[in-house]
Structure 1
Amino acid sequence: MTDIWDPIRLGKAELPNRFVMAPMTRSRANQDGTPTALMAQYYAQRAGVGLIVAEGTQPSEDGQGYLTTPGIYNAAQVAAWKPVISGVHEKGSRFYIQLMHAGRMSHPDNTPHHRQALAPSAIAPGTEMYTPTGKKDIPVPRAMTLEDIRQTVQDFRHAARCAIEAGADGVEIHGANSYLIHQFLAPSANTRTDEYGGSIENRARFALEVAAAVADEIGADRTAIRLSPGLAMWGIDEGPEGPDLYRYLIAELARIGLVYVHVMHVGSEDLLHDIRKLWKNVFILNRPGRARSAIGTDVASGLADMESYGQMILANPDFLTRLKKDAPLNQPDPTTYYGGTEKGYTDYPAL
């Protein structure tokens, strides 16, 4: 029986265990999208898990949604990521940068160019967002032209190359949680009548083009994707075809040969098992709210190759030590999740 403490090969890398730090937006980058010394400390504190997936990182100015999130598309950002990544490598973990284009989940006040957000269709998500002057309704985005789509695919390609130049072991494409790729998948956000809308194949096209472009640029063995089948939030409704869309998408991603798929599981258990059968490479599973007593059960059963954890690792820089010693876990402070200083970020106590 496989144990979550067992080593595993991920592409060309050997990981010491099957724990993954899930990507978590913390909004502590500089205004220009460069990572900070505090971010380097935060990630290095949590090294020891087999894989750390960085917070959502915009692949372009258009891709930014929230305040003070990091980018990975220019030389200054590449240089600033290097000490973050080397600090993690020194402690034995591998590091993937998550490429996140927010799409319509953005506000012009939050981006460097202050332009209208891009999305599959001109449909607002119907929610609010923090801006420099407080909470505001998210405005209606601009429907992407075919040229916008082509450019955005190239933005992902360029960002992936920048991530590798910064020392990352690979990239995880963010196809979940109601951001741009998820918006293309959901008919509630995508009412296009061209080759990117309508049928399952058309709605999956953008995700597959991004995956193919990134894999072509840095290698499929360093390219991954995160998905959240069945997640309904911020106006996203995948509709009755949702499960079949994911079965199609997973099968097509398998043809590209991505190194892993990372599923945030909130939906159908039957679909989850179907995805596992269709996916032959490394499968990472995140179950929000997983009990401590259930840690390792999906790896042991063979349903997953690795398990990812968010809040538990956020609040416990020595997460693995606490598990080994059966020690109590710190509880996270949600009031410090986004933005701020070291409070609720690098000051959680170790044993």
Structure 2
Amino acid sequence: MSHALFSSYDLAGLSLNNRVVMAPMTRCRAAEGDVPTPLMAEYYAQRAGAGLIVSEGVPVSPTGRGYLWTPGIYTAEQVAGWRTVADAVHAKGGRLFVQLWHVGRISHRSLQPGDQSPVGPSDAVAEGAVCFAIDDAGHPGNVATSPPKALDQAGIAAVREAFVAAARNALEAGIDGVEIHGANGYLFDQFLNSAVNDRGDAYGGSVENRCRLLLETVDAVSKAIGAARVGVRISPNGRFNAMPEDPEMEATFLHLAAELGRRGVAYLHINDQLTFGLPPIPEGLIAKLRAAFGGAVIVCGGYDGERARAAIDGGLADLVAFGVPFIANPDLPARLENGWPLNEANRDTFYGGGAAGYTDYPVYTE
């Protein structure tokens, strides 16, 4: 008998064919102008057997960029490209949310308009962090992030407005919804962390203040497109992108989860960074976050078929997201359901390039 992981699911009124989610993964395949390409449409359509696809991170503005060739959603050309992607996914019966992204301090001046500094909650440098930019020799590669400047009130307002505009653009492109990227050491995560955010205004200090920017953005986006079209991704205890340990981590994320639940967003997506070789989320915290949120929860981070089934059976989550396995296995839900072997992913082709390691992985055949 098929497991609940492979059964349909109602996500805030959106019918999903199963509870297997394709996790957001940066692939750096956009064309000039950070425009989504027909090859990207093919890539996502191949994986439309997922109950829900969450796209790679999509910068909401030129200042939100931290990596070369990541597809944006702030120009007419980019929106047209995403419409092609959405149409291809829908033609295969899939559902697509785009992950709206601002990297904050994880950027380099060469990626910023006018060679300006990246922005963050403070001027604290992400020591040891890198982004994907043009190096001193003029070649693409990993480079140290540039020192950021702290957002002022006008800058904070501009961030909110950029997310609202991007969400409206997503719906204009025919996309089913958006996921606000609050995880993995990027802008909102930087504001949440008490060891990074040393502001003395309404956006720093207390738990409530450090959650303010993300919650205000959720409110503004929800007002624009409806809370049922909005998900949020978080990474409690995360250390990726040079994030320091936060002594107020649990209190911060439990408050955030409760506030997101009160707002009725479509889902809370909890990413565990253990697959990055970093400390896992403390035992029991995911269950506490689920109880505080009260809505649909997606878990992600090192899950295979067995762990995914256990997460749903144990009430830990409603849906389970898979990352790297989806790169190499476009038919991953069918492989998991039938116990078919998995292709191995070629990590050398994860970022940049063309069809090799992107759209050329085979589906399972006997």
The TM-score with structure 1 as length reference comes to: 0.96
Distance in 1 separating the partners of 2:68 and 2:130: 13
Other-structure match for 2:277: none
Other-structure match for 1:277: 291
Give unmatched runs, 5+ long, in structure 1. none
Once the two structures are overlaid, the 10-residue window that deviates more, 49-58 or 185-194, is 185-194
Note if 1:350 corresponds to 2:352. Answer: no
Distance in 2 separating the partners of 1:174 and 1:214: 13
1:206 pairs, out of 191, 210, 213, with 213
| Equivalences for residues 169-188 of structure 1 within 5 A | 169-188=176-195
Once the two structures are overlaid, the 10-residue window that deviates more, 37-46 or 320-329, is 320-329
Please report the RMSD computed on the Cα atoms of aligned residues, expressed in angstroms.
1.4
* 2:286 match: secondary structure: helix
Give unmatched runs, 5+ long, in structure 2. 273-279
Other-structure match for 1:268: 282
| Equivalences for residues 183-194 of structure 1 within 5 A | 183-194=190-201
Note if 1:116 corresponds to 2:108. Answer: no
The one-letter code of the counterpart of 2:281 is G
Once the two structures are overlaid, the 10-residue window that deviates more, 238-247 or 177-186, is 238-247
Contact residue 164 and residue 224 of structure 2 kept, 8 A: yes
Contact residue 186 and residue 239 of structure 1 kept, 8 A: yes
Contact residue 4 and residue 300 of structure 1 kept, 8 A: no
Distance in 1 separating the partners of 2:234 and 2:196: 16
| Equivalences for residues 87-236 of structure 1 within 5 A | 87-126=88-127, 127-132=129-134, 133=138, 134-236=141-243
Deviation at 1:73, TM superposition (A): 1.3
Note if 1:297 corresponds to 2:310. Answer: yes
Other-structure match for 2:275: none
The one-letter code of the counterpart of 1:51 is L
Distance in 2 separating the partners of 1:34 and 1:113: 20
Distance in 2 separating the partners of 1:114 and 1:51: 37
Deviation at 1:135, TM superposition (A): 3.5
Contact residue 284 and residue 307 of structure 1 kept, 8 A: yes
Deviation at 1:238, TM superposition (A): 4.6
* 2:194 match: secondary structure: coil
* 1:204 match: secondary structure: helix
The one-letter code of the counterpart of 2:232 is I
Other-structure match for 2:339: 326
* 1:232 match: secondary structure: coil
Other-structure match for 2:60: 59
* 2:64 match: secondary structure: coil
Distance in 2 separating the partners of 1:331 and 1:253: 37
Equivalent residue pairs, number: 350
Distance in 2 separating the partners of 1:158 and 1:113: 22
Contact residue 106 and residue 130 of structure 2 kept, 8 A: no
Deviation at 1:207, TM superposition (A): 0.8
Distance in 2 separating the partners of 1:311 and 1:38: 19
Other-structure match for 2:276: none
The TM-score with structure 2 as length reference comes to: 0.93
Distance in 1 separating the partners of 2:246 and 2:253: 12
The one-letter code of the counterpart of 2:169 is C
The one-letter code of the counterpart of 1:49 is A
User: What CA deviation, in whole Å up to 9, does each residue of 1:286-321 have, x standing for no partner?
Assistant: 1x2224432321112211110000011111011122
Note if 1:338 corresponds to 2:338. Answer: no
Deviation at 1:113, TM superposition (A): 4.1
Distance in 2 separating the partners of 1:72 and 1:291: 32
Other-structure match for 1:28: 29
The one-letter code of the counterpart of 2:78 is Q
Contact residue 2 and residue 299 of structure 1 kept, 8 A: no
* 2:180 match: secondary structure: strand
The one-letter code of the counterpart of 2:286 is L
Deviation at 1:242, TM superposition (A): 0.4
Deviation at 1:164, TM superposition (A): 0.5
The one-letter code of the counterpart of 1:72 is I
Contact residue 121 and residue 192 of structure 1 kept, 8 A: yes
The one-letter code of the counterpart of 1:40 is A
Other-structure match for 2:330: 317
Contact residue 187 and residue 237 of structure 1 kept, 8 A: no
